[in-house]
Amino acid sequence: MLHYTIILTKLRGLYTTAKADAEAECSILRHALDKIAEIKSLLEERRIAAKMAGVYSDSDPPRKTMRRGVLMTLLQQSAMTLPLWIGKPGDSPPPLCGATPASSDYVAKQGDKVAARVKAVDGDEQWILAEVVSYSHSTNKYEVDDIDEEGKERHTLSRRRIIPLPQWKANPETDPEALFSKDQLVLALYPQTTCFYRALIHTPPHRPQDDYSVLFEDTSYADGYSPPLNVAQRYVVACKENKKK
């Protein structure tokens, strides 16, 4: 009996030590992630300042001189480097984590990427990937640039025409509620374009590095939807419109 008690005491001590080590490691990782976020924020501030001054780098040339393939690569990199939200036990995912919407009073910052509803040349309206230039609290309107047409016409849009993009990826293994569900209607960035289109979620991500599999509305197919296509969490947002009739 005494031998059993000694073993149990040792096991409890080992468990306590392992738990403390794991908590310390989690704390270090969270601190590292915070530092990475700070660095990315500083780099973004420098990029915006350089853009305002008309100074560009090889890694971020002006859109009007950028080859299409380069722009698509930058968009893919932005999706891949979107930070994964890691909360403490019991924490709920914050706004703009995965499918979690922004708060009602949220205002996107200068340089933020958004989905913006604009009028096309033919008069039809479409959702495009855009970058916030400014926001006026007096008019409650944004000024945004089409990410694919920098240097061309700037769009002035009301808040209801702007949808902020996710700022964190949701972890399907710990926060599945922060992801869109199967068959949910969304706006998703069509691959190799800078336009968002209506789509249904075919398969949500199963692992943190996974993309959504979506079915885009497409009348050229018998059932009205395209075959499944992958779209990163970064470029999938809620669609407030009803499903097509």
Look up the CATH number of the domain holding residue 144: 2.30.30.140
- 10-17 average pLDDT score: 82
Residue 245: its pLDDT value, please?
45
Q: Per-residue confidence at 11, pLDDT binned at 50, 70, 90?
A: confident
**Quick check: is 16 in a domain?**
yes
3 shares a domain with 56: yes
Coil/strand/helix, residue 22 = helix
- 10-39 average pLDDT score: 77
**Quick check: is 76 in a domain?**
no
- Burial of residue 109, with CB atoms counted within 10 A of its CB: 0-12 exposed, 13-18 middle, 19 or more buried: middle
Coil/strand/helix, residue 84 = strand
**Quick check: is 90 in a domain?**
no
**Quick check: is 100 in a domain?**
no
pLDDT digit string, tens, across residues 192-210:
999 999 999 999 999 999 9
In whole angstroms, what is the distance from residue 226 CA to residue 215 CA?
Answer: 5
Q: Looking at the 3D structure of the chain, how many domains does it have?
A: 3
In whole angstroms, what is the distance from residue 56 CA to residue 67 CA?
Answer: 15
- 65-88 average pLDDT score: 87
- The DSSP secondary-structure symbol of 197 reads E
- Across the chain, mean pLDDT equals 86
Residue 62: its pLDDT value, please?
59
* Closest of 128, 204, 210, 203 to residue 161, by C-alpha: 128
**Quick check: is 101 in a domain?**
no
- Burial of residue 166, with CB atoms counted within 10 A of its CB: 0-12 exposed, 13-18 middle, 19 or more buried: buried
The residue with greater pLDDT, 235 or 65, is 235
Of 60, 80, 97, the residue that ends a domain is 60
Residue 240: its pLDDT value, please?
77
**Quick check: is 138 in a domain?**
yes
Q: Per-residue confidence at 150, pLDDT binned at 50, 70, 90?
A: low
Of 164, 186, 207, the residue that ends a domain is 164
Q: Per-residue confidence at 162, pLDDT binned at 50, 70, 90?
A: very high
Residue 64: its pLDDT value, please?
56
182 shares a domain with 136: no
Show the domain range for 134: 112-164
**Quick check: is 205 in a domain?**
yes
**Quick check: is 86 in a domain?**
no
Residue 1: its pLDDT value, please?
67
* Closest of 127, 145, 158, 143 to residue 236, by C-alpha: 127
Residue 57: its pLDDT value, please?
57
Global pTM value: 0.79
Classify strands 236-238 and 162-164 as parallel, antiparallel or unpaired.
unpaired
